Amino acid sequence: MSTPGNPRLFRTSVSEYLESLAPGSLARLYANPASTLAVFRLLPVLSKHLVMSLLYLPTPVHVSHVTAWTTLRAETARETALKPLYRLHIVQEGKTLLLEETFRKALQSALAGRGSECFGTPSSTKDKYAVDKAFLTKHSEEKWGRILHFMVGTDEAQPSNAARKLLERSGLMAPNMSTGRLAITQAGFQFVLQDRYHQVWGFLLQYMEFIEGLQLDLVEVLHLLFQLGGLTFGQDYGMETFTQTQMLLLEDLQNFGLVYRRKKTSRRFYPTRLATTLTSGAEGGQEEGNEGFIILETNYRLYAYTDSPLKIAILNLFCSLKARFANMVSGSVTRESVRRALSNGITADQIIQYLTANAHPHTRHQNPILPLTVVDQVRLWELERDRFTAKSGVLYTGFQTKEDFTAVLQYARQLEVLLWNNYRSMIIARDGDESVRAFSRRRDERRRDDHPVRIKEEPR
């Protein structure tokens, strides 16, 4: 594993990204009905209800009237639902509420079926090289799978150069100190355990930060991504309405598995399942078309009915695999395997969520789906590890007099840099070492003593 020296903030929430945009960029985004509808679909359920209640009101509504729409017990939920509307500049915070005019008109157009050109234009001619949904699914799984295989180190075809550069730039992978080859980081371990929806959006958000440095229009990029999210899986679309920026993006999106084009000069494209779920608002869980394959027993034994090298490699991140058959692997969830995962940055909740999301259909009728004994033990192993924290410090010992020891001890406490002490030694935090050392030296100079305090670093 490798750790980048200056890891970037890795976002997986498109809503958080939109909240970081300037009001002017959001206003341009809301001018497009397809983008506005996509933002609406990404809102929490109660936020959507508030938007729909305000959508056709021509005048502002006083906050007291909005309060009457909910019960007293729902006051906190109502305030929580309003916060994303404020942050996304859909409504202005104040004593009255009114939808932002551009957003309101665009959403009305989208719901009424106007502005259809913003939602993609199906190809007007028949494709003699037409592909079906099965082909598109295989294409997207192959392209996206290459990225994940490359991250976990399985011996598969490598992703595109753009994908490899993005993996490094985002901090998901970093050059190994000894070999120089890209290796997965702690952020990368967390990434591969996420559901597909958050993986794809996280990757695309990093991609947008990358192309922002190329002086490309981010709003046009968002228009394209949100348009893809509203297209029909299996339908071919023309590119006549695409801008130059959007045309340039299609090649990278093909390498990521979001679209399919037979060749670079093709004037039509097919959105894949990865693309059409971009605006689904999915918050995790099992991906469509992907049946669960994991059975976990109360004795910590795990059986995974799969022959996928990628799924097996992911399981190996937190399981101790013992045997592999033609269509199944078996192993155990052990203290050592979980602690190894924790040291790589994976959390107990991520392990539990992955096992739950990929549980075998035969275990889904159980309540809870996973054995509680195993779930509780995984969390206990995490707590066990979190009981200890490592801090860098310097050991002070060999004081000439008790007065010297007491004076230095009190000074370290005043600076709040004392990590530990007994009756003759103390450990000072490394960032406070210079100040405490200078204090001790001044005492020696005043006493005109030629024997300074002996200091040695705590052995690592």
pLDDT in tens, 402-430: 888 999 999 999 999 999 999 889 999 99
Residues in the chain: 460
Distance CA 265, CA 430 (A): 61
CB 182 within 8 A of CB 168: yes
Distance CA 208, CA 186 (A): 22
Q: CB within 8 A of 68, min separation 6: which ones?
A: none
Please name every residue paired with 259 in a beta bridge, in sequence order, or none if there are none: 271
The per-residue pLDDT for 459 is 55
CB 85 within 8 A of CB 79: no
Cα separations in angstroms, 280 against 143, 204, 273, 287:
21, 15, 11, 12
Distance CA 125, CA 116 (A): 18
Distance CA 248, CA 254 (A): 11
pLDDT in tens, 114-156: 877 788 889 989 999 999 999 999 999 999 999 999 998 887 7
The per-residue pLDDT for 6 is 39
> What are residue 237's phi and psi, to 5 degrees?
-130, 150
What is the pTM (predicted TM-score) of this model? Answer: 0.74
Note down pLDDT in tens along the chain; length 460 residues.
444 433 444 566 899 999 999 999 999 999 999 999 999 999 999 999 999 999 999 899 998 888 888 877 788 888 999 999 999 999 988 889 999 999 999 999 999 988 777 888 899 899 999 999 999 999 999 999 999 999 988 877 789 998 999 999 999 999 988 788 888 888 888 899 888 888 999 999 999 988 888 888 999 999 999 999 999 999 999 998 899 999 989 999 999 999 999 998 899 999 999 999 898 754 444 454 457 999 999 999 999 999 999 999 999 999 999 999 999 999 999 999 999 999 888 899 999 999 999 999 999 888 899 999 999 999 999 998 877 777 889 999 988 888 889 999 999 999 999 999 998 899 999 999 999 999 988 888 887 655 555 555 555 5
For 375-405, give one letter per residue: b (16+ CB within 10 A) or e. bebbbebbeeeeeeeeeebbbbeebeeeebb
**Which is nearest to 277 in space by CA: 190, 191, 201, 167?**
201
Distance CA 317, CA 294 (A): 15
Structure tokens at 224: 């394209």
